[in-house]
């Protein structure tokens, strides 16, 4: 094995994670929530980092640290946004000051402490990290790479051309116009938690009928080339803490569903409608991505790429698509992987993985044997009655 050992890190928004790679080989990966049992834990992933470093060979040290976004650009966007939202945006200031303190002081110190040298710390732009996590492990020599999420530093949607030379940026859509934030707004409206309940909204959609698509299309303009624009009079996420404005409630005709309230058919229909709009947008984006880059393969990452129903429609409805590869950790945890791969590559030509993709599986975190699982369950007052295949749980990566 050769190549630099690079530790990738994501943190300070949600889905904090650490990843260890050597060159293009993925050695270990873990999300902080698995250690702290705090779902989508955003804090600096000390436990995940310790685990990844424990997988280094004896005497080896990380050569570099790769962080999954540019904290300076992110800070700039946060300040600009607060400024543009004045005077109402003044309520963002206390949180903004806290975030800026963390990004400018705490985070650089935490990253530097990993190797002891500030020069070893590299910042990779948020969407480039996502794109790298999708393209570099993929089985394709070349591909269009589409990243769709809530927001990175400024980008919410980016298109890349992936070749042996790496990732070339082709186009972007910027904050506040965001499919991820649109979906999160409806997640909140239907009574689920933003940044973790989106999968519940997707799961709710098939219980309803998409009868409110026209109302939602008053809020978002979808263009034939895959681009889109939100009408920000309906959304408050730029001002926070709510994602939706009073106008949003007025158009939808009912107040947001309270968390844990019984879900009525109205909200099922809302879920079906926003899911239909998202799928329409993703199909247009993917079609445009293939036509613009001239590639027939497509790689996806970003939190919206976790919408497996939309992904299924791409596979079924785009005859021009020959290969589709989606980063399993498409959310921000996967950004730690992409950042590490990008830094480890260091501008060298990419080699296509032999015999498939470079992620045979996603079992990259700590493993436990069946006896340890049994004892832990018993401690928690649970019964260990069935494990389909204990060897799977005990597998060491």
Min CB(197)–Fe ion separation in Å: 17
- Residues 157 and 229: their CA atoms lie apart, in Å, by 11
Min CB(187)–Fe ion separation in Å: 16
Min CB(130)–Fe ion separation in Å: 6
Nearest residue to the partner Fe ion, using Cβ: 149
Q: Which is nearer to Fe ion, 32 or 149 (CB)?
A: 149
Write the interaction track for Fe ion spanning residues 369-388; mark x where CB under 5 A is met and - where it is not. Answer: --------------------
Q: Does 149 bind Fe ion (CB under 5 A)?
A: yes
Q: Does 279 bind Fe ion (CB under 5 A)?
A: no
Min CB(115)–Fe ion separation in Å: 25
Min CB(46)–Fe ion separation in Å: 21
- Residues 267 and 187: their CA atoms lie apart, in Å, by 10
Tell me the C-alpha to C-alpha distance, in Å, between residue 3 and each of 281, 342, 344, 350.
39, 12, 7, 13
For Fe ion, how many residues bind (rule: CB under 5 A)?
2
- List CB contacts of 107: < 8 A, sequence separation 6 or more: 11, 12, 44, 67, 71
Q: Which is nearer to Fe ion, 279 or 332 (CB)?
A: 332
Q: Which is nearer to Fe ion, 332 or 342 (CB)?
A: 332
Q: Which is nearer to Fe ion, 120 or 332 (CB)?
A: 332
Q: Which two tokens stand for residue 300?
A: 């996806």
Q: Which is nearer to Fe ion, 149 or 153 (CB)?
A: 149
Which window, 92-100, 161-169, 193-201, 332-340, contacts Fe ion (CB under 5 A)? 332-340
Which window, 2-10, 62-70, 244-252, 325-333, contacts Fe ion (CB under 5 A)? 325-333
**Residue 196 in contact with residue 39, Cβ under 8 Å?**
yes
Let me know the angle formed at the C-alpha of 189 by 327 and 272, rounded to the nearest 5 degrees: 60
Q: Which is nearer to Fe ion, 40 or 251 (CB)?
A: 40
DSSP readout, 282-323? Answer: HHHHHHHHHHHH--SEEEEESGGGG-HHHHHHHHHH-TT--E
Q: Which is nearer to Fe ion, 149 or 198 (CB)?
A: 149
Q: Which is nearer to Fe ion, 70 or 332 (CB)?
A: 332
- Residues 67 and 18: their CA atoms lie apart, in Å, by 9
- List CB contacts of 206: < 8 A, sequence separation 6 or more: 272
Q: Does 236 bind Fe ion (CB under 5 A)?
A: no
- Cα 134 from chain centre: 11
**Region of 12 on the Ramachandran plot (φ > 0 left; ψ -120 to 50 alpha; else beta):** left
> Site residues for Fe ion, window 176-235 (CB under 5 A)?
none
Tell me the C-alpha to C-alpha distance, in Å, between residue 19 and each of 55, 184, 344, 382.
10, 27, 12, 31
Min CB(397)–Fe ion separation in Å: 25
Which window, 194-202, 285-293, 330-338, 370-378, contacts Fe ion (CB under 5 A)? 330-338
Nearest one of 397, 330, 368 to 10, comparing CA atoms:
330
- Residues 2 and 67: their CA atoms lie apart, in Å, by 22
Q: Which is nearer to Fe ion, 4 or 43 (CB)?
A: 43
Min CB(338)–Fe ion separation in Å: 10
Min CB(303)–Fe ion separation in Å: 6
- Residues 268 and 264: their CA atoms lie apart, in Å, by 7
Which window, 38-46, 52-60, 87-95, 327-335, contacts Fe ion (CB under 5 A)? 327-335
- Residues 121 and 65: their CA atoms lie apart, in Å, by 5
Q: Does 332 bind Fe ion (CB under 5 A)?
A: yes
- The residue ranges that bind Fe ion (CB under 5 A) are 149, 332
């Amino acid at each position: 094995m050769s190549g630099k050992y690079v530790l990738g890190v994501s943190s300070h928004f949600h889905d904090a994670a650490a990843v260890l790679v050597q060159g293009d080989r993925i050695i270990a990966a873990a999300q902080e929530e698995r250690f702290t049992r705090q779902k989508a834990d955003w804090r600096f992933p000390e436990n995940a980092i310790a685990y990844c470093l424990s997988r280094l060979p004896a005497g080896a040290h990380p050569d570099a640290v790769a962080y999954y976004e540019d904290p300076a650009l992110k800070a700039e966007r946060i300040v600009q946004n607060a400024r543009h939202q004045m005077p109402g945006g003044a309520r963002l200031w206390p949180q903004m000051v806290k975030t800026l303190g963390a990004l400018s002081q705490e985070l650089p110190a935490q990253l530097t402490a990993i190797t002891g040298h500030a020069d070893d710390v590299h910042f990779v732009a948020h969407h480039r990290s996502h794109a790298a996590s999708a393209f570099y492990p993929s089985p394709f020599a070349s591909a269009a790479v589409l990243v769709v999420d809530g927001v990175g530093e400024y980008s919410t949607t980016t298109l890349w051309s992936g070749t042996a030379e790496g990732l070339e940026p082709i186009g972007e859509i910027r904050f506040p116009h965001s499919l991820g934030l649109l979906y999160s707004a409806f997640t909140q409206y239907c009574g689920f938690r933003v940044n973790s309940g989106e999968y519940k909204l997707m799961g709710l959609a098939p219980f309803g009928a998409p009868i409110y698509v026209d109302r939602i299309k008053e809020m978002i303009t979808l263009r034939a080339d895959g681009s889109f624009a939100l009408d920000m009079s309906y959304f408050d996420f730029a001002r926070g803490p709510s994602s939706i404005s009073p106008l949003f409630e007025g158009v939808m005709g009912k107040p947001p569903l309270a968390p844990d309230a019984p879900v009525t058919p109205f909200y099922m229909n809302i879920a079906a409608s926003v899911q239909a709009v998202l799928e329409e947008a993703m199909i247009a984006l993917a079609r445009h991505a293939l036509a613009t880059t001239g590639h027939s393969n497509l790689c996806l990452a970003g939190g919206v790429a976790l919408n497996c129903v939309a992904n299924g429609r791409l596979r079924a409805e785009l005859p021009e698509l020959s290969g589709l590869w989606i980063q399993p950790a498409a959310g921000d945890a996967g950004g730690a992987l992409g950042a590490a791969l990008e830094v480890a590559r260091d501008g060298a030509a990419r080699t296509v993985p032999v015999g498939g993709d470079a992620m045979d599986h996603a079992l990259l975190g700590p493993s436990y044997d069946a006896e340890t699982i049994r004892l832990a369950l018993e401690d928690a007052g649970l019964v260990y009655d069935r494990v389909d295949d204990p060897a799977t749980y005990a597998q060491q990566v």
